[in-house]
């Protein structure tokens, strides 16, 4: 008789037993926007800690406030109520400990790929040789070698995204805020970039908040996944991902923990979206 194996979806005891320091915290956060069409509450009752060195993925229906929480972490705007803290301090004004890759790439159209990536290195005063070496490393990393002299208008959507990611990595921020960074990539390149990102973040001990609509991606990359409700967004559930930090993302497809968790995220999210469509 076949006995189906029980998969333990609880976090490994060693991981949950570690003392964890909150690097970003949302305490009773609400954000409302006022416009000519009235007031929209994007997020409400948001209580969430992101721990130093973790990758937190964020999923939820369109318009539930995912970009809004990144904007507040980056200090681009303040909450209407409650507090957003970074390293224990209230975020007020631009948060320079974070590097933010927004849904738009914000490349400088008059600069080439290499010159866009160079911006943070120029700000830091690196000399030409040191800049060139770092740019070569980063263009190689994001698969843009050979396109250093191209202008953003000459690139595909995915190539623009990769240029923006390379520029973000050149800033070398403590915490990366990534808003659907791989949405425009083909599946192979996406998998490669996911692996590289995780490898880099683990090696360099970065903290990451990663917004995505792709539930497989949310499980593949996350140590935890925060699932949001529809707007006004708040946490519906935080799902622990009991896969090792150095997991091989390219080999997860047949991993039972991965497939079960991705299916579980789907179950958490889909009834809500069906409710909206009806
Ligand atoms: N600057 C702004 N001014 C007015 N309303 C805004 C602003 N930014 C966001 N909103 C509103 O807040 C809500 C949440 O927006 P947000 O961009 O955070 O959603 P999201 O979850 O990132 O959606 P998507 O998955 O489509 O990117 C939306 O209703 C949006 O219209
Ligand atoms: Mg968004």
Q: Domain boundaries in the chain? A: 1-97+177-278, 106-172
Q: Are 239 and 265 in contact (CB under 8 A)?
A: yes
Place of tokens 């009773």: 28
Q: Give the count of alpha carbons within 13 A of 69, CB side only.
A: 36
Residue 42 C-alpha to ligand 1 middle, in angstroms?
6
Per-residue pLDDT tens digits of the chain, which is 278 residues long: 444 444 555 555 445 555 689 999 999 999 999 988 889 999 999 999 999 999 999 999 999 999 999 999 999 999 999 999 999 999 999 999 999 998 888 899 999 999 999 999 998 899 999 999 999 999 998 889 999 999 999 998 889 988 999 999 998 999 999 999 988 788 888 888 898 888 888 888 899 999 999 999 999 999 999 999 999 999 999 999 999 988 889 889 889 999 999 999 999 987 655 555 55
**Residue 271 φ/ψ, nearest 5 degrees:** -55, -35
Residue 78 C-alpha to ligand 1 middle, in angstroms?
14
For a ligand 1 pocket test, name from 31, 68, 209 the mutation site with the most ligand atoms within 8 angstroms of its C-beta.
68
Residue 31 C-alpha to ligand 1 middle, in angstroms?
10
DSSP H helices, 177-241, are 187-203, 215-221
Point out the ligand 1 atom lying closest to the alpha carbon of residue 180. 27
- Two tokens at 29? 């956060």
**Residue 109 φ/ψ, nearest 5 degrees:** -65, -25
Burial annotation 161-170 (CB, 10 A radius, 16+ → b, else e) = bbbbbbbbbb
The SS3 assignment for 50 reads strand
Report residues near ion ligand 2: CB below 5 Å: 66-67
Query: Which-ligand-closest: CA of 61?
Result: 1
Using CA atoms, how far apart are residues 4 and 180, in angstroms rounded to an integer? 36
What CATH architecture does domain 1-97+177-278 belong to? Answer: 3-Layer(aba) Sandwich (3.40)
How much is the pTM? 0.89
Residue 76 C-alpha to ligand 2 middle, in angstroms?
14
């Amino acid at each position: 008789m076949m006995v189906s194996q029980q998969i333990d979806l609880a976090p490994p005891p060693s991981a949950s037993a570690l003392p964890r320091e909150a690097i970003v915290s949302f305490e009773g956060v609400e954000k409302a926007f006022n416009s000519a069409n009235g007031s929209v509450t994007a997020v409400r009752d948001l209580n969430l800690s992101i721990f130093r060195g973790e990758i937190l993925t964020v999923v939820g229906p369109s318009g539930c406030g995912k970009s809004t929480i990144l904007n507040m972490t980056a200090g681009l705007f303040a909450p209407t109520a409650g507090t957003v803290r970074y390293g224990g301090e209230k975020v007020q004004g631009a948060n320079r400990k974070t590097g933010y890759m927004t849904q738009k790439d914000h490349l400088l159209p008059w600069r080439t790929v290499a010159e866009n990536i160079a911006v943070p290195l120029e700000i830091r005063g690196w000399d030409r040789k040191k800049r060139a070496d770092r740019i070569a490393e980063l263009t190689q990393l994001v698969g843009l070698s050979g396109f250093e002299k191209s202008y953003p208008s000459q690139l595909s959507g995915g190539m623009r995204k990769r240029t923006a990611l390379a520029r973000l990595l050149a800033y070398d921020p403590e915490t990366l805020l990534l808003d659907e960074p791989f949405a425009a990539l083909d599946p192979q390149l996406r998998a490669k970039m996911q692996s590289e990102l995780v490898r880099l973040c683990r090696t360099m001990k970065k903290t990451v908040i990663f917004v995505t609509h792709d539930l497989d991606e949310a499980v593949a990359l996350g140590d935890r996944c925060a699932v949001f409700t529809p707007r006004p967004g708040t946490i519906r559930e935080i799902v622990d991902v009991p896969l090792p930090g150095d997991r091989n993302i390219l080999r997860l497809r047949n991993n039972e923990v991965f497939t079960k968790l991705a299916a579980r995220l789907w179950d958490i999210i889909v009834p809500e979206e069906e409710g909206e469509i009806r």
